[in-house]
Amino acid sequence: MDSLYRHILEHQSTAVVLLDGKLCVTYLNQSAEFLLAASHERSQGDPLRLLLRGDEDFESELEAALTKEQSYTRRITQLTAVQSSAREITVDYTVTPMTDCDQGGLLLELQPLDRLLRINRDAAQLTLQRTTRHLVRGLAHEIKNPLGGIRGAAQLLARELDRPALVEYTDVIIEEADRLRNLVDRMLGPNQLPHYRSGNIHRILERVRQLITAEHPGRLRIERDYDPSIPELTCDPDQLLQAFLNVTRNAAQALEDTEDAVITFRSRTMRQFTIGDERHRLVVRVDILDNGPGVPPEMIERLFYPMISGRADGTGLGLSITQSIIAQHGGLIECESEPGSTCFTILLPLESNDEGA
């Protein structure tokens, strides 16, 4: 291949794969090497199916393109990167027969969409979070005002009553009004703005581990998979402690009927990562995993709404409060779950927070 053309291909963001007439690899550019977790040198001559697989029509369509010398494009398609632990990737791809080339073959161009789809999904989730918080605050205001009137009226009535038995009824009214007011306050999340300072994510997680171990002695294991190179971040350590504790307590409760119950704390850094519409140079990712029964699919989309709980005795406020805390730190919380594996992922920017300056 001409050195100029190779130089151009190596600097393309699109993954480029050249195939011969037997659908064997003759060339991968750098983007294709990264996407497929394969090297150009080692992959030459290998059948494409050793690197990339699709549905049952994927390979037959490639053969038809060779035979009929017709190009085609597929949009938002799921393929499997075989060398990357059979990782599922979402791509747009175009197949072009090399009719003007002596060797023939196909040009396969792959445009990864996973990052774009994730950014769109995260942006939609953040918008939904903000809308939910706005609605909850409006609802809380509408509830607290009449509650204050009910409580005040009960206090005035109690002063006019001369029978202690009747005063007991006004006491019930006052206590229930206070209980509802406290419940509304909890729905609103933290009642104080974060007090930003330098914090160590692993020190926070270790404190959570100590508390959960003390609450469930001998019933479950908490394993740690930390990246020790993660720097300190600007945060409110007390609020983050509460956020991680809420998630881990939920995991511990979900594991009540699970033999060999395990919770895993995993930390990693991610570079040039986008949260919502803001791109961050460095982000810390914390995964809290458990091997419990999983979250019912119908609950996943509503998991962070206030008053949504999978337990009969749950208030459904823990994850809502956690979401508020993470959002105040400019971060994002997500959940993926299937039977035997649930993972809550918390993403937090590592750069300084201007609000805490």
pLDDT at 55 over 70: yes
* CATH code of residue 321: 3.30.565.10
Cα distances (Å, whole numbers) of residue 121 to 78, 212, 334, 343:
17, 32, 10, 17
Q: Within a domain: residue 192?
A: no
Cα distances (Å, whole numbers) of residue 171 to 166, 182, 231, 352:
9, 17, 53, 49
Of 86, 112, 138, which closes a domain? 112
Q: 126 or 50, which is more confident?
A: 50
Domain check: are 312 and 347 in the same one? yes
Domain check: are 133 and 164 in the same one? yes
Range of the domain at 61: 3-112
What's the total number of domains in the chain?
A: 3
Domain check: are 339 and 301 in the same one? yes
Domain check: are 268 and 318 in the same one? yes
Contacts of 296 (CB under 8 A, 6+ apart): 310
Largest pairwise CA distance in the chain: 106
Domain check: are 44 and 62 in the same one? yes
pLDDT winner (highest mean) among 75-84, 175-184, 258-267, 274-283: 258-267
Domain check: are 59 and 175 in the same one? no
Domain check: are 121 and 106 in the same one? no
Q: Residue 28: what pLDDT?
A: 94
Angle at which helices 237-254 and 318-328 cross, to 10°:
150
Q: Within a domain: residue 306?
A: yes
Domain check: are 108 and 142 in the same one? no
Half-sphere exposure of 149 (CA within 13 A, CB side): 5
List, as one string, the DSSP characters of 223-265: EEE--TTPPPEEE-HHHHHHHHHHHHHHHHHHTTT-TT-EEEE
Strand ranges of the sheet holding 106-112, from the earlier edge strand across to the other edge: 25-28, 15-19, 106-112, 87-97, 72-81, 52-53
pLDDT at 217 over 70: yes
- For the segment 101-133, what is each residue's pLDDT rounded down to a tens digit? 666 799 999 988 876 666 666 666 666 666 766
